[in-house]
Structure 1
């Protein structure tokens, strides 16, 4: 499968439908498969967390782009600019300013190396519909107390024939107990909401032990499904400002959101200094964990 690298992190430029086809492929193959949903925070954290970096690049079977920041970066980095130093710096800086200022229009009217953003909050619904259609059982792990249970109830109400193998609002500290519960449930797909990078690290260490074919880290998606938090209106999401809507809802996310300007500046400086931070790789075979 083709993959794109931004700041050294592999991303798979697939559509929503193509991602579901990969899940179907994983469900019938031998082994256990980790699916990650990287956004800007993932990329920034991975620069300083070698274990997380290794998981995203070497153990994840599928990295789905869940963040408008990565869509922007893939377009900006693909822009051509003059090779002469002075012109390169001026034109690149202008491109950077315009691409950020006109982001909603750019996302709507232009195409880039990454076809679309696959939000975890949307993907969880698609995964559960896929599971119902293919008679696969889903286990929900993580979230605040009762959130996983409420999420399961909403999903089963909305999706006909969805089989929830079990729920557990545990934490990574309860690993042995959690593994036993999941294994006994005979679940096929494990959805984990510990938050990044805890959920990815936990899945890397324990997915195969649970007996599940597919493990997906979905962060705060349970909260949206359960109704704990309200999701941004569709027009806000399409304009690329869901992050701002969430910040207004949860001011405590302010320090986490500092990753966004830091990422944008890092991308600009890297392009100005000709650092090799963006490339499209040839198809390669990605194996099981």
Structure 2
């Protein structure tokens, strides 16, 4: 293990380089690297449930104020560079990244991997009609996949949910409870779970179900997905304003 101390610290462990933006961790990984890890964890039936979380500017800024979230993020096995902002910030500090690893695209790759490995998937989160539509769409897109179970994100008996997940014998758990709820939920209960891999997927079920449209390619190419989301969903304005604050903070800390 190599550790460098500083604002832009870096830790290398298990062949994954972990960088830090303002004490907030982000891993310098590619889709291929993540899938190589999950393949190994699943095939070796790793007794430890591995956690994958996505990192973006909004979450970085939130974690600066929310110590519980920051602690949860640091417990993740892999933190993908989901947002364009974090990729830009890391490259500005001299780190080499091939690009983003988006949460929804990684989810699709993991669904394909689950189908190829013939292992089950459990989906937790979203409104009842949303998770049902998402499951139907996943079955349509991946006809040979095993959906071991699913449950909406509105529950009170956590122990019952965990028991249901474990009883399903699923290898992969996708958790769509929103941030920071999903990160806090998974890190609090990780030692009770028997799945090999669990990933926080935020609002991916809304997109997969068709309830929300993903930002168009032009917005993705111009790195303006965050702006597109604010324009199409004004309720995101408060969250979206964290992105320009992140940019200013990166520029200030860079000098």
Return the TM-score normalized by structure 1: 0.79
Which one of the candidate residues 79, 85, 88 is aligned to 1:63?
A: 79
1:35 partnered with 2:48? no
Flag structure 1 segments of 5+ consecutive residues without an equivalent. 79-111, 273-289
How far does residue 271 in structure 1 lie from its aligned partner after superposition?
Answer: 2.0
- The superposition leaves residues 169-192 of structure 1 with CA deviations (integer Å, 9 ceiling, x where unpaired) of 033643122112112211111100
Which 5+ residue runs of structure 2 have no aligned equivalent?
1-15
Corresponding residue for residue 151 of structure 1: 134
RMSD value, Cα? 1.4
Following superposition of structure 1 onto structure 2, how do residues 112-127 of structure 1 map, counting pairs within 5 Å?
Answer: 113-127=96-110
Deviation at 1:75, TM superposition (A): 2.2
Q: Matched residue pairs, number?
A: 238
What residue number does 2:64 align with? Answer: 47
The TM-score, its normalising length taken from structure 2, stands at: 0.89
Cα–Cα, structure 1 residues 68 and 188, in superposed 2: closer, same or farther, change >3 Å?
same
- Deviating above 4 A after TM superposition, structure 1's stretches of 4 or more consecutive aligned residues are none
1:15 matched to which residue of 2?
Answer: 30
1 CA distance for matches of 2:155 and 2:37? 27
Residues 164 and 118 of structure 1, relative CA distance in 2, 3 Å threshold: same
Aligned pairs for 1:1-289 (under 5 A) are 1-27=16-42, 28=44, 29-57=46-74, 59-78=75-94, 113-171=96-154, 173-272=156-255
Tell me which protein shows more helix as a share of its residues.
1
Deviates more, 1:167-176 or 1:250-259: 167-176
The structure with the largest alpha-carbon Rg is 1
Alignment partners' CA distance in 1, 2:190 and 2:198:
6
Cα deviations across residues 224-246 of structure 1 (Å, max 9, x unaligned)? 00000011122321221111111
Q: Is the CA contact (8 Å cut-off) linking 1:170 and 1:178 kept in structure 2? A: no
Normalized per residue, the structure richer in strand is 2
Higher RCO by CA contacts (8 Å cutoff, separation 6 or greater): 1
